[in-house]
């Protein structure tokens, strides 16, 4: 991991844009470098992305991945030839072996069988060494190709990260707290998850009814066996966070509150409404994560049902929380998302990848809520989404992040994800030329006025 000043020691501005949403092919090609240039010209020093992991074909969600450790091969720029250095490749494979080998084995078998691993014949399902070896024998070339894909991804991402560093731009990643049942992680480490003898979850993840869903959300990930995790010193989590820090300067922990207590939904329950809270390892797991990641590099996604215990856990370890302005205007002066209640150890957003765009959100508000919003704006006559972007920039929060769709003043048709729905998500892509010099100048004016502009390397 590279040495750097702690990102939250100064005021910063950033943009949320997943790699797949870049103009053109949505990969690690020229448009990724142009976007870094745009950020630098705009005075922004943070580029936040969604998880870079592979996705399943059925939903394309980066929060439902066949691997928590691998890079998405679809992000590779095929026009950039990689000079294969056999020694470097072999050394990299050895260094990443603990996740790379299970991933390559799982992915090759998954491509062949086209069904989740827990439906495979028992010997393969249970990862019997001889059965795996026999099944992979005719797939040796594909397994090697999968390793090579990961090496190429790593090389291309490392070059982009180095370029961003030269431009003074930090890369901000996203780590989903839970992993997909149909993944190399669960297949290779069944003992670390609450599964029955056939590899199926005993209870599944989700959250209770909230702003997004009246019946709660049922995510269907398996829950961790925290006792088994603790017995190995949280080694799996240490490897996972170390892997993220290889890729990113900052890492957001999605659903942070699950470390304090997680919502357990019975497998047979029709909705997540029937779940219950079950205590997690709290301080023990956070100690392992912060020690491994380094201080000042983790951010807690603390949205939803947040208790004093969750707040205390976050603040004890010095993790900034999230303040989403679209949630601020319910008429309550103690609403934690109101700018007056932010505090410096925070990341403020106009909205997130799970929200409507600010233009779409504003269009759907009733007159009473619009009046509430206007009463907190710096200039009530300023149009949306610019007014909310300005409010975010002027927040006391050390980092202000604006989704790219809001910078571009796009409507609901450009929304990235609608929680609880399966179709039409994760597909938005910016138009060619969207991030131009005129927009960079407009953003820089806001960033400089809010004292968030950073010089390269600062």
Band of pLDDT at residue 154, cut at 50, 70 and 90: very high
Q: Which of 285-289, 302-306, 349-353 has the lowest mean pLDDT?
A: 302-306
- Closest C-alpha among 333, 457, 449, 329 to residue 400: 449
- Considering the segment(s) 1-173+428-441 as one domain, its CATH architecture is Alpha-Beta Barrel (3.20)
The pLDDT of residue 210 is above 80: no
Phi, psi angles (nearest 5°) of residue 317: -100, 10
In this prediction, residues 422-432 reach a mean pLDDT of: 94
Q: For 240-274, give one letter per residue: b (16+ CB within 10 A) or e.
A: bbebbbbbbbbbbbbbbbbbbbbbbbeeebeebeb
DSSP string for residues in 233-293: TTHHHHHHHHHHHHH-SEEEEETGGGGTEEEEEETT-SSGGG-EEEE--THHHHHHHHHHH
Residue 412 is predicted with a pLDDT of 97
Residue 456 is predicted with a pLDDT of 62
The pLDDT of residue 423 is above 80: yes
Residue 212 is predicted with a pLDDT of 67
Q: What is the pTM of this model?
A: 0.96
The pLDDT of residue 2 is above 50: no
User: Strand 170-176 vs strand 12-16: parallel, antiparallel, or unpaired?
Assistant: unpaired
How many other C-beta atoms can be found within 10 angstroms of the C-beta atom of residue 366? 8
Residue 179 is predicted with a pLDDT of 98
Q: Is 416:29 a contact under the CB 8 Å cutoff?
A: no
The yes-or-no answer on residue 301 being catalytic is: yes
Mean pLDDT of the chain: 95
192/233 Cα distance (integer angstroms): 12
- pLDDT tens per residue, range 120-129: 999 999 999 9
Residue 457 is predicted with a pLDDT of 57
- Closest C-alpha among 353, 61, 419 to residue 218: 419
- pLDDT tens per residue, range 334-366: 999 999 999 999 999 999 999 999 999 999 999
User: Strand 12-16 vs strand 46-48: parallel, antiparallel, or unpaired?
Assistant: parallel
How many other C-beta atoms can be found within 10 angstroms of the C-beta atom of residue 312? 13
295/290 Cα distance (integer angstroms): 6
Residue 3 is predicted with a pLDDT of 43
- pLDDT tens per residue, range 388-421: 999 999 999 999 999 999 999 999 999 999 987 8
In this prediction, residues 208-225 reach a mean pLDDT of: 88
42/442 Cα distance (integer angstroms): 8
The yes-or-no answer on residue 85 being catalytic is: no
Q: Which of 105, 301, 302, 406 is catalytic?
A: 301
- Closest C-alpha among 332, 450, 338, 349 to residue 404: 349
Band of pLDDT at residue 304, cut at 50, 70 and 90: confident
Q: Is 425:418 a contact under the CB 8 Å cutoff?
A: yes
Residue 5 is predicted with a pLDDT of 55
Q: Which of 101, 126, 210, 354 is catalytic?
A: 354
- Closest C-alpha among 402, 213, 202 to residue 305: 213
The yes-or-no answer on residue 406 being catalytic is: no
Q: Which of 105, 149, 185, 254 is catalytic?
A: 254
């Amino acid at each position: 991991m590279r040495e750097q000043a702690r990102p939250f020691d100064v005021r910063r501005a950033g943009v949320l844009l997943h790699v797949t949403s870049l103009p053109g092919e949505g990969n690690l090609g020229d448009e990724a470098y142009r976007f870094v240039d745009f950020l630098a010209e705009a005075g922004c020093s943070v580029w936040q992305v969604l998880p870079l992991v592979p996705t399943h074909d059925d939903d394309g969600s980066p929060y439902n991945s066949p691997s928590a450790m691998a890079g998405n091969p679809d992000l590779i720029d095929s026009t950039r030839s990689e000079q294969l250095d056999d020694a470097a490749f072999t050394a990299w494979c050895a260094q990443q072996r603990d996740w790379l080998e299970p991933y390559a084995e799982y992915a090759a078998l998954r491509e062949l069988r086209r069904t989740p691993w827990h439906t495979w014949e028992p010997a393969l399902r249970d990862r019997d060494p001889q059965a795996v070896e026999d099944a992979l024998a005719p797939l040796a070339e594909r397994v090697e190709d999968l390793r090579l894909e990961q090496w190429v991804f790593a090389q291309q991402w490392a070059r982009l990260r180095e370029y961003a560093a030269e431009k003074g731009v930090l890369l901000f990643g996203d780590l989903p707290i839970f992993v997909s049942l149909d993944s190399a992680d669960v297949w290779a480490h069944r003992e670390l998850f609450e599964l029955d003898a056939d590899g199926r979850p005993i209870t599944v993840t989700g959250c209770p009814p909230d702003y997004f869903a009246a019946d709660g959300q049922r995510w269907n990930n398996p829950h961790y066996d925290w006792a088994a995790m603790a017995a190995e010193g949280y080694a799996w989590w240490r490897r996972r966070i170390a892997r993220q820090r290889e890729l990113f300067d900052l890492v957001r922990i999605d659903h942070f509150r699950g470390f304090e207590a997680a919502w357990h939904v019975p497998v047979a329950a029709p909705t997540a409404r029937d779940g219950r809270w079950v205590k997690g390892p709290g301080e023990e797991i956070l100690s392992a994560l912060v020690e491994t990641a380094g201080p000042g590099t983790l951010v807690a996604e603390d949205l939803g049902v947040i208790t004093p215990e969750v707040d205390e856990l976050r603040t004890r370890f010095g993790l900034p929380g999230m303040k989403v302005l679209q949630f601020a205007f319910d008429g309550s002066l103690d609403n934690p998302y109101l700018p007056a209640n932010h505090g410096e150890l925070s990341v403020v957003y106009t909205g997130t990848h799970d929200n409507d765009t600010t233009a779409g959100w504003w269009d759907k508000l009733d007159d009473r809520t619009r009046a509430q919003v206007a009463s907190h704006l710096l200039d009530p006559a300023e149009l949306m989404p610019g007014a909310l972007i300005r409010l975010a920039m002027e927040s006391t929060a050390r980092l202000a992040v604006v989704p790219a769709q809001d910078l571009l003043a796009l409507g609901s048709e450009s929304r990235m994800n609608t929680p609880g729905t399966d179709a039409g998500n994760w597909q938005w892509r910016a138009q060619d030329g969207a991030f131009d010099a005129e927009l960079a100048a407009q953003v820089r004016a806001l960033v400089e006025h809010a004292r968030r502009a950073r010089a390269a390397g600062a």
